[in-house]
Amino acid sequence: MMINNISLQNFRNYVDESIQFMPGTNILIGDNGQGKTNIIEGIYYLLTGKSYRVHREQELLRWEQNEFHLYGEFILNKNKVYLESHYKNRKKMVRINQVSCQRLSDFVGTINVIFFSPDDLVMIKGGPSERRRFLDLHIAQMRPGHVSLLNAYNKVIQQKGALLKSYTEKHFKYSQIQLWNEQIIELGKKIILNRADLTQRLQDAANPIYKSLTSNKEKLQVHYNALGKKTAAEAISEFSKLMDEKLEQEIDRQLILVGPHRDDLQILLDGKPGRLYASQGQQRSLVLSLKLAELELIQQEKGEYPLLLLDDVLSELDRFRRDYLIRFIESSRIQTLITMTSADNHLDSGTLYSVKQGHIRRET
């Protein structure tokens, strides 16, 4: 998978800019605040329908504008694919090859992308929601139907949550909640199975990478904890029972206590939680291993490596990890876009682009 070019109009600090990319490594160089990360964000948004930095499209608009437009040409299985995303007056429109998509699941996964930045350490140090997001984003790229599944589940959760917080008599809530619980169980089981399957595949792919990074001295393990530290099989068989047991508490606390929206991905270093026991360097190795494992899983699934976006990563890695990442990219021939300042250029080869005040120029 490759990106040939992208056009950004009124996106972040870009008025109207078009960029042609090359196979292999593309290096975006410039001082902070010039727009390097905005290009990476624009590509990611075009491919996933979401920003990795903000939750609201309004924040992606150039100052005092009410619409932005992204357009890109990509290569998939040697065929050209044209993607377009247009946001105007709080409404979003996406097209594939000039055909409008009605749902995000019709769009996500067309071209796969893996994004890596220093902020990804939150996957280790942050809360369960960050790790669930990591799992769900990856599943959605390989199985777009997961997006619709999550949306349906979240709607049911919102409805049940509203009921729990309502002033409805307690005895009336019991029968109504049971209806929502049935849908939560039906949708939740599918989400749990998807996440557990990916977790096992990540374990198989990431651990050898982590061993290479640590000269076989340390071991990476990942476990998906469903419905309170249960295996997927246990969670599915006990789902209904757990919901019945927590029903009284949910009504009293006006809070949904059971479901995959509360699950966690446990990332372990030699059997201990990486969040508590891993050093900063070890945490970087854990995240790097999981990201490289994502690349391998997509390649296994789709027969091609995804596009790789690296935002200010090389300057944050020590020499050994940096060299390992560069060797992986070069040996796999993955098209990669890397942002860095001129002082941080650790690469011996690649196409250079200068980014300054919302303009980009390819260096000759």
Three-class DSSP category at 145:
helix
The share of the chain scoring above pLDDT 70, in percent, equals 99
pLDDT of residue 215: 86
Tokens 């047991």 -> residue: 245
Both tokens of 15, joined, read 């008025």
Q: Please state the rounded mean pLDDT for residues 43-65.
A: 90
109 marked as part of a ligand binding site:
no
77 marked as part of a ligand binding site:
no
Q: Is the pLDDT of residue 332 over 90?
A: no
Side-chain-side CA neighbours of 87 within 13 Å: the count stands at 23
Phi and psi for 42 in degrees, rounded to 5? Answer: -65, -45
Q: Is the pLDDT of residue 328 over 60?
A: yes
23: alpha, beta or left? (left if phi > 0; alpha if psi -120 to 50): beta
Q: What is the CA radius of gyration of the chain?
A: 22
pLDDT of residue 300: 93
244 marked as part of a ligand binding site:
no
Q: Is the pLDDT of residue 347 over 80?
A: no
**Residue 343 banded pLDDT, cuts 50, 70, 90:** low
**Residue 163 banded pLDDT, cuts 50, 70, 90:** very high
- Say how far apart CA 65 and CA 55 lie, in whole Å: 18
78 marked as part of a ligand binding site:
no
**Residue 345 banded pLDDT, cuts 50, 70, 90:** low
- Say how far apart CA 322 and CA 305 lie, in whole Å: 20
Phi and psi for 49 in degrees, rounded to 5? Answer: 75, 10
Number of H helices, E strands in the chain: 9, 15
Cα maximum dimension of the chain? 74
34 marked as part of a ligand binding site:
yes
Q: Please state the rounded mean pLDDT for residues 263-286.
A: 93
Q: Which residues contact 88 (CB under 8 A, 6 or more apart)?
A: 66, 67
350 marked as part of a ligand binding site:
no
pLDDT of residue 242: 95
Q: Please state the rounded mean pLDDT for residues 168-174.
A: 82
70-79 pLDDT tens trace: 999 999 999 9
Three-class DSSP category at 227:
coil
Q: Is the pLDDT of residue 121 over 70?
A: yes
179-236 pLDDT tens trace: 999 999 999 999 999 999 999 999 999 999 999 988 888 999 999 999 988 899 999 9
- Say how far apart CA 82 and CA 35 lie, in whole Å: 24
- Say how far apart CA 64 and CA 242 lie, in whole Å: 51
- Other Cβ atoms less than 10 A from the Cβ of 27: the count is 23
- Say how far apart CA 57 and CA 151 lie, in whole Å: 18
User: Does residue 246 contact residue 257 with C-beta atoms inside 8 Å?
Assistant: yes
30 marked as part of a ligand binding site:
yes
User: Does residue 166 contact residue 299 with C-beta atoms inside 8 Å?
Assistant: no
pLDDT of residue 331: 87
Pick the CATH number of 121-303 from 3.40.640.10, 1.20.1050.90, 3.90.420.10, 2.60.260.20: 1.20.1050.90
170 vs 249: which has the higher pLDDT: 249
pLDDT of residue 64: 86
Three-class DSSP category at 256:
coil
Average pLDDT over the chain reads 92
Tokens 């729990």 -> residue: 164
pLDDT of residue 108: 86
Torsion of CA 146, 148, 150, 156, to 10 degrees: -150
Burial class (CB in 10 A: 0-12, 13-18, 19+), 253: exposed
Both tokens of 294, joined, read 């994502």
Please state the CATH superfamily assignment of the domain spanning residues 1-111+306-364 in this structure: P-loop containing nucleotide triphosphate hydrolases (3.40.50.300)
Q: Is the pLDDT of residue 364 over 80?
A: no
Q: Which residue, among 98, 184, 193, 180, has the nearest Cα to 145 in the 3D structure?
A: 193
Q: Please state the rounded mean pLDDT for residues 45-53.
A: 90
Both tokens of 262, joined, read 């509360």
Domain boundaries, the chain: 1-111+306-364, 121-303
Q: Which residues contact 253 (CB under 8 A, 6 or more apart)?
A: none
35 marked as part of a ligand binding site:
yes
The answer to pTM > 0.75 is: yes
Q: Is the pLDDT of residue 344 over 80?
A: no
